[in-house]
Amino acid sequence: PAVLQAIQQLKGMPDQPVDRLAALASDRRQMVRDKALYALGGLDADQGVPTLLGALEDERARVAIYALRAAVLE
């Protein structure tokens, strides 16, 4: 739970650390990975889109497609 809360806090920071969220998007723990992917989709200025596009090529695609949708709709 602490890691998931930290991901939410990283997403809300004014100068979002995209590299940290991108690293968590490849974490071995599925829940952490999924939460980081969703957080990348909600970043301003589409900063997380490159990582989400890369995630479409592996098992993370099921979450990345929804996170990309959120980024595109903004």
Distance CA 52, CA 38 (A): 9
**pLDDT one-digit tens code per residue, 18-56:** 888 999 999 999 999 999 999 998 888 788 899 999 999
User: What does the DSSP 8-state code read for residue 74?
Assistant: -
Q: Which long-range contacts (CB under 8 A, 24 or more apart) does 7-16 make?
A: 7/32, 7/35, 7/36, 7/39, 8/35, 8/39, 10/39, 11/39, 11/42, 11/43, 16/43, 16/44, 16/47
Question: 9 versus 59: which is more confidently predicted?
Answer: 59
